[in-house]
Amino acid sequence: MMKNNKKVGKRKKALFRLYILLFVFVVSIVTLLYLNDTRKEIVLDFEANLLWEVQQSSKDVSERFKSKFAVLETVQDLISHSYHIGVEAAKSMETSRQRYHMAYLGIVDRNYVYYDSSGDTESDIPHERVDLVLSGKRVVARSNDGKSPDGIIFLSPYWEDGEIVGVICSKYLREDMMEELIDKPQEGTDLIVDVNGEVVFMEDDYKEYMGELSWEKFYAKKVNTKLKEQFDKELMLRGSAVAATKDKSGRQVYFAVSQIEGYPDFFSVRLTSAEVVEKVIQSSMVRIYLLMAFMIALIVCIVFHAVWTYIKNRKEVYKAAYVDQLTGIPSKSKHKLDAQELIDRQVRKYAYVTFDVDNFKYINEMFGYEYGNRILIHIANVLQHFTDEHELVARISADNFAMLLENPGTKEELSKKIKRIFEMIVEYREPEEELNLCSLKFSCGVYEIDEIRDINKIRANANLARAESKKRILDEIVFYDENLKTRRIEERELEFDAEYALENGEFLVYFQPKYDVTSEKIIGAEALVRWNHSTRGMLSPGLFIPVFESNGFIIRLDMYVLEKVCELIEAWLEAGIPPVCISVNLSRTHLYERDLVERLVSIVKKHNVPPEYIEFELTESAFYEETDRLLRVMEEIKKAGFRLSMDDFGSGYSSLNLLRRLPVDVLKLDRVFLEDCDEAEDGIRGKRIVMHVISMAKDLEMEVLAEGVETEGQKDFLQEAKCDMIQGYYYARPMPVKDFEALYNEQTVS
């Protein structure tokens, strides 16, 4: 069973681990997907930002260009009214050149003759550009031919009387323009390119990315063709676009291009290394990873905690339901499950044993519940110690225990095995345990398991046998057999028939005479009931008294017997026959009747019988249950004037101490005393005991009656021992009233 539980536990643990793994796996996948999404988002964000930046710088550039051309227009306005195009006009511009920090300022006429404000005639302006401007266009271009200093030239048509007569041009040095055109705080590199792909302006670090690669080539090389088409289309439609490519050393590079407003031939470009994006991505990845790791850890913790609490709770519930709290052995519910499983396996032959401690209630009351509990724990310990691995023990309730024992085969062997366990309960001592176990007696029922495999039926049968064992004083262990069941049915029938039988006069009162030891004359009689059953014939009280004791009918029956006895004494008194004292048995069930004594008195009174002619016999076994109640009832009976005897003294727990307190007139020694006297070896000892008991009773001013005297030898011994009265087959058996009257008559006559 335990192994099985362990197996189930292992399987559950493996399953649990699998679930955790699956969970971590799913979370990882989700995290990766999420990371991918985040990455895309970051890149998109970055691209949008890059686009925005390039648009901003293109606006700035456009403003700068406009202002440069505005300067050229102002200068032209100033001079064209006073001079024709030529040396003078150029010279008059010198102050303007200085004011606007130009590298040069000059005019080119339609014949490409150059007039500089400084008087110089050398020019770095190509003729095609001049032609372009003469056709009415404005031109911005890079001038870096190696001869003159690197710079940017602005060319604008020169007008006279509404006609373009030449080109006015200014040049700014690159380093001067730098500050104006580029917002340095941003990362990356700015370029300005014209429609032909020629770089008008570029930052120095362009080379860092592209090396010697010209913008044109770089642009041509950008990404794959499909993207290129898309890029160009977007640039055409929106005036700006963004893309990624590889730089000279193979690193990822982003670049954004934007048309410069008002100068459709010029573009502003921003180039940025992908490292920036990667950094952002990495830092957010790290954040996400950390978050995810934290979440996984948290969830795993929560799950572990939940599982742990669940397991703990289950264990507690299991313990509460399946383990007996007092003794620690399995409880009834656990036992039923385990037993059913073992029985179903059909590997071994089993017997189901159920037993309880006789008069455990008495132990509890006499010595306290704590002591009673210690006895139960002791029993549980012994059961566990002295049963095999594949056998089961359990505490079913209070003092009721159950065992599933391997059946050795025969009833004798099985009986021996159970008796051995009971012996161990009585003999086995744990160190420091001070329990008085000698007086422990058990009622035990056994069911040998065969075809019936349902644990409930098995238990019911064993319990039936145990109930039978309670009724039998000598049989501690009773085996279930089919007769038990039929007997049970018969008992039911007896219960059923009782009421009618009483009305129908089926119950007869027999008398068994009591004799004086010395005179050997009848000095009294005991009334003993018989049932002349309508169908079953004469039944002995041993058959029906226990049944009526358990259903309470005995109270009515005893009253009936008393009534019959009183009727007889009344008749004797009326006939002038001197009556003898007749004893009537009172079952212990009466002790629970509140108005017992009143009822007894009223019956006696009804028949005008003086109470001293009636003696009530109370069984010794009645004494240890609720001693106080018993004493009270006895006192009342005595007070009412009846005689009282203690029946069956010596047959069970004999409490000599209690005897001192009991107000009884007669002590009826049980038959067992005489049996002891007959034994050859024990005989002497038995006789001594009887003599002692008799002398002790005398000390207490009690008379002594010996029951069940069957032989002359017994009679002689009792005479010798100064016993007062004798009742037994030696003199007479219980007999019908008529026979008793005849016998008694004979004696009085003689």
650's contact among Ca ion, ligand C2E, none, with CB below 5 to 8 A by partner kind, is: none
- The type of residue at 738 is K
Decide: is 116 part of the binding site for ligand C2E (CB under 6 A).
no
- Taking the C-alpha atoms of residue 254 and residue 275, their distance in angstroms, rounded to an integer, is 10
Q: Which of 703, 696, 648 is nearest to 672 (CA)?
A: 648
Decide: is 648 part of the binding site for Ca ion (CB under 5 A).
yes
CB of 681 to ligand C2E, least distance (A): 23
# chain residues binding Ca ion, by CB under 5 A: 5
491's contact among Ca ion, ligand C2E, none, with CB below 5 to 8 A by partner kind, is: none
CB of 720 to ligand C2E, least distance (A): 19
Asked whether 204 and 145 are in contact (CB, 8 A), the reply is no
Q: Which of 567, 710, 739, 741 binds ligand C2E (CB under 6 A)?
A: 710
**Subset of residues 514 to 553 that bind ligand C2E, contact rule: CB under 6 A:** 528-529, 540-542, 545
Decide: is 615 part of the binding site for Ca ion (CB under 5 A).
no
Q: Which of 154, 153, 191, 178 is nearest to 58 (CA)?
A: 191
Could you identify the residue written with the tokens 């212990």? 588
Decide: is 647 part of the binding site for ligand C2E (CB under 6 A).
yes
Which stretch, 161-169, 225-233, 491-499, 723-731, contacts ligand C2E (CB under 6 A)?
A: 723-731
Asked whether 587 and 545 are in contact (CB, 8 A), the reply is yes
* Beta carbons within 10 angstroms of residue 357's beta carbon: 21
Q: Which of 153, 379, 561, 725 binds ligand C2E (CB under 6 A)?
A: 561
579's contact among Ca ion, ligand C2E, none, with CB below 5 to 8 A by partner kind, is: none
What's phi and psi for 255, nearest 5 deg? -140, 145
CB of 436 to Ca ion, least distance (A): 27
358's contact among Ca ion, ligand C2E, none, with CB below 5 to 8 A by partner kind, is: none
**Subset of residues 293 to 352 that bind ligand C2E, contact rule: CB under 6 A:** none
CB of 648 to ligand C2E, least distance (A): 6
Q: Is 614 helix (H, G, I), strand (E, B) or coil?
A: strand
CB of 670 to Ca ion, least distance (A): 6
CB of 584 to ligand C2E, least distance (A): 7
Alpha helices in 428-520 (DSSP H): 455-471, 482-503
Alpha helices in 182-224 (DSSP H): 206-210, 215-221
354 strand-pairing partners: 402, 445
541's contact among Ca ion, ligand C2E, none, with CB below 5 to 8 A by partner kind, is: ligand C2E
Q: 3-state DSSP helix/strand/coil percent for the chain, to nearest 5?
A: 55, 20, 25
Q: Which of 629, 579, 624 is nearest to 604 (CA)?
A: 579
CB of 626 to ligand C2E, least distance (A): 18
User: Cβ closer to ligand C2E: 60 or 490?
Assistant: 490
Which stretch, 29-37, 142-150, 505-513, 645-653, contacts Ca ion (CB under 5 A)?
A: 645-653
Which stretch, 80-88, 331-339, 347-355, 721-729, contacts ligand C2E (CB under 6 A)?
A: 721-729
# chain residues binding ligand C2E, by CB under 6 A: 21
Which stretch, 58-66, 96-104, 339-347, 725-733, contacts ligand C2E (CB under 6 A)?
A: 725-733
Which residues have CB under 8 Å from 221's CB, separation 6+?
Answer: 213, 245
Q: Which of 731, 680, 735, 741 is nearest to 706 (CA)?
A: 731
CB of 485 to ligand C2E, least distance (A): 24
734's contact among Ca ion, ligand C2E, none, with CB below 5 to 8 A by partner kind, is: ligand C2E
Structure tokens at 618: 């109370």
Which stretch, 47-55, 335-343, 564-572, 640-648, contacts Ca ion (CB under 5 A)?
A: 640-648
- DSSP secondary structure string for all residues of 146-176: SSSPSEEEEEEEEEETTEEEEEEEEEEEHHH
- Taking the C-alpha atoms of residue 246 and residue 223, their distance in angstroms, rounded to an integer, is 8
User: Cβ closer to Ca ion: 484 or 582?
Assistant: 582
Which stretch, 43-51, 338-346, 348-356, 708-716, contacts ligand C2E (CB under 6 A)?
A: 708-716
- For Cα atoms 460, 464, 466, give the angle at the middle one, nearest 5 degrees: 115
Decide: is 592 part of the binding site for ligand C2E (CB under 6 A).
no
User: Cβ closer to Ca ion: 206 or 649?
Assistant: 649
User: Cβ closer to Ca ion: 335 or 514?
Assistant: 514
What's phi and psi for 439, nearest 5 deg? -85, 0
Tell how strand 703-707 and strand 477-479 pair up: unpaired
Decide: is 617 part of the binding site for Ca ion (CB under 5 A).
yes
CB of 541 to ligand C2E, least distance (A): 4
Q: Which of 581, 514, 508 is nearest to 728 (CA)?
A: 514
- For Cα atoms 583, 589, 592, give the angle at the middle one, nearest 5 degrees: 115
Asked whether 142 and 201 are in contact (CB, 8 A), the reply is yes
- The type of residue at 576 is G
Q: Which of 647, 674, 718, 724 binds Ca ion (CB under 5 A)?
A: 647
Q: How far apart are the first and last CA of the chain?
A: 80
Taking residues 682 to 721 in sequence order and writing x for each that binds Ca ion by CB under 5 A, - otherwise, the string is: -------------------------x--------------
CB of 727 to ligand C2E, least distance (A): 6
User: Cβ closer to Ca ion: 579 or 734?
Assistant: 734
User: Cβ closer to Ca ion: 330 or 652?
Assistant: 652
Task: Tell me the torsion sign for CA atoms 655, 656, 662, 666.
Answer: positive
> How far is the CA of 466 from the CAs of 356, 384, 416, 480, in angstroms?
8, 21, 17, 9
Decide: is 585 part of the binding site for Ca ion (CB under 5 A).
yes
Alpha helices in 182-331 (DSSP H): 206-210, 215-221, 225-238, 275-322
User: Cβ closer to Ca ion: 338 or 707?
Assistant: 707
Structure tokens at 195: 């429609």
Could you identify the residue written with the tokens 């300005």? 192
CB of 699 to ligand C2E, least distance (A): 25
In the complex, the residues that contact ligand C2E under the rule CB under 6 A are: 512, 528-529, 540-542, 545, 554, 558, 561, 585, 587, 647-648, 708-710, 727-729, 734
Which residues are near Ca ion by CB under 5 A? 585, 617, 647-648, 707
